[in-house]
Chain A
Amino acid sequence: MQDRPREQWGTRAGFLLAAIGSAIGLGNIWRFPYVAYDGGGGAFLVPYLVALLTAGIPLLILEYTIGHKYRGAPPTAFLRMSKAAQPLGWWQVGVSFVIAVYYAVIVAWAVRFAGFSINKQWGNDPDSFFFNDFLQVADEPGAPTSYVSGVAWPLIAVWVITLGVLLLGVRKGIERANRIFIPLLVVLFLVLVVRALTLPGAVDGLNALFTPDWSEITNGSVWVAAYGQIFFSLSIGFGIMITYTSYLRRKADLTGSALVAGFSNSSFEILAGIGVFATLGFMAGAAGVPVGELATDGIGLAFVAFPEIISNMPAGALFGVLFFGSLAIAGFTSLISIVQVVVGAVQDRTGIGRVPAVLGAGGVTALVSIALFPTNEGMYILDVVDRFINQYGIALAGLVVVIAVSWIMRKLPVLQRHANQTSAVPLGGWWRIMLGLITPIVLGWMMWDSLRTELSANYEDYPTSLLISAGWAVALGVIVFAVIMSVLPWKHGGRETQPTEAGEEAKN
């Protein structure tokens, strides 16, 4: 098999922007503000920062170091770590595939809503417009019976652009796209925040978000929420940064970059909290209700609450374009990184070039996404898949990886030495304690908490058949996929090219 030189990032800044673009996603804008508000407002800052420093950044550094040391997307990286660990890598690839197929749909909605904002097409009833007119959601969960072209065409466009960027490669595609989109995202969002802060009632929103309720500090579920927010927001646990750092130069810094990416992600979240709650404060004042009555998160916040606010706001059209444009860009740069995990894994294990890997693996991902989600059942499927792949894909795989690396393979000392060879911030014993002890305990706690909820009642009261087919079957299916892919006789990549710590160039 012909070995190609491994692709590389052009510059450190380019890599950092791509890493930040991957970390900043939909969750920063539509999840953090509500989680913080719900978890004690200003007091939430304490568990949040503790979670960032004791789990978020240590895990980010772990992914950076694995990708850089073993020079491969997750299956190859874990195979090089230990032959038996390859399924962990494929598990992450499977999770990335599943997330990519529905994440792209939300980006497509955001693109459409940026357009709808111009003439406030949702009219007087944004809720009905979103679910009935735009998504054409069926009354009951079941088998899809109709295809929704209004969702399909922006989704196809999102996939064409995403695969187009990936076709251009790491440097000319991913890096260049992030060099354009991340500064653009920051500028758009700053304009949005300034506008939100100048609205009447903005102060009430900020009061609601930042007034501390210290009694929440002793509430265990607030700590679970803080760790969950950090974990999902940083996009750790499904191999993105393992893939991205495998394209770094041999002598590249790891820990300093991870700190910059981690703090950039949180900085953007704080900004999003200010922007979202200032806006909610305006609406609460206009409607004469307390801010807490309007506070919500996720799809309901973005596609129902915000359109209503935009309709009530002077120059709302501009605000709408800024908000949905930011959402689309934040989602798009994350989507690129998620699909790259799948593409990179196929490239590394088969030895095929980027173009066939993008068209093959990326093409299949796009086709599944386009076939399944622009249907009248797409919303139900998305909701259930999202819930189960987050809990029993990302978080569970994260837990298993941390235990396997720290306790079974006992690789933390080797990885620590590797990171310290080139990094700005030296790792000490604290890093091993965070990963070997605190992170597994917290992730295990999150898992237990989530399983308990799952078994006590059906998620969102959905029928059990839907939870089995779109939830449990998908989460378990990814694990079965990982095992099958690991036993296939790949002809390329892996143990024969195990790089040494001296840092010589890996072969593939």
Chain B
Amino acid sequence: MSASAIVMLIIAIVVVWGGLGVALLLLRRHPDRPDEETQA
């Protein structure tokens, strides 16, 4: 592969898959509070 293609492939993977990882981490650190009155 050409150097520029490898760089763009890596950037794409790091930004998009990294973005997913960060979003998952943010969500895990913020568990849903239970509803006061839970309905089925």
Q: Which residue numbers of A lie inside 8 Å of B, CB to CB?
A: 5-6, 8, 12, 41-43, 45, 49, 203, 206-207, 209-212, 249-253, 256-257, 259-260, 262-264, 266-267, 270, 274, 422-425, 505
Contact = CB atoms under 8 A, between A and B. Distances in A.
B26 A206 contact: no
Interface in B1-36: 1-2, 4-9, 11-13, 15-17, 19-20, 23-24, 26-27, 29-30, 32-35
Given A49-B16, A267-B16, A267-B17, 14 more contacts: A12-B27, A41-B5, A41-B8, A209-B5, A210-B9, A212-B8, A249-B32, A249-B38, A259-B19, A260-B20, A260-B23, A270-B13, A424-B30, A425-B26
A387 B8 CA distance: 32
Shortest 8 CB-CB contacts between residues of A and residues of B: A42-B8, A424-B30, A259-B23, A263-B20, A256-B27, A210-B5, A263-B19, A251-B33
Nearest to A273: B12
- Contact-size category for B: 20 to 34
Interface of A is mostly: helix
Contacts of A250: 35
Nearest to B39: A5
A178 B24 CA distance: 18
Interface of B: 1-2, 4-9, 11-13, 15-17, 19-20, 23-24, 26-27, 29-30, 32-35, 37-40
User: Which of A12, A43, A251 has its CB near the most chain B CB atoms (within 10 A)?
Assistant: A251
A5 B35 contact: no
A207 B32 contact: no
B39 A424 contact: no
Contacts of B1: 203, 206-207, 210
Contact of A266 (B6, B9, B16, B38): B16
A278 B2 CA distance: 15
A277 to B, nearest CB: 11
Contact of B12 (A12, A263, A270): A270
A272 to B, nearest CB: 12
Contacts of B34: 249, 251
A207 B1 CA distance: 6
B19 to A, nearest CB: 4
Contact of A5 (B12, B33, B40): B40
A252 B27 CA distance: 11
Given A6-B39, A260-B27, A266-B16, A422 B33 contact: yes
Contacts of B26: 256, 259, 424-425
A207 B8 CA distance: 10
Given A8-B39, A422-B33, A212 B17 contact: no
A267 to B, nearest CB: 5
Nearest to A258: B23
A440 B19 CA distance: 25
A12 B11 CA distance: 30
A49 B11 CA distance: 11
14 contacts: A8-B39, A42-B11, A203-B1, A206-B9, A207-B5, A210-B4, A251-B32, A251-B33, A252-B32, A253-B32, A259-B23, A266-B16, A270-B12, A424-B27
A45 B11 contact: yes
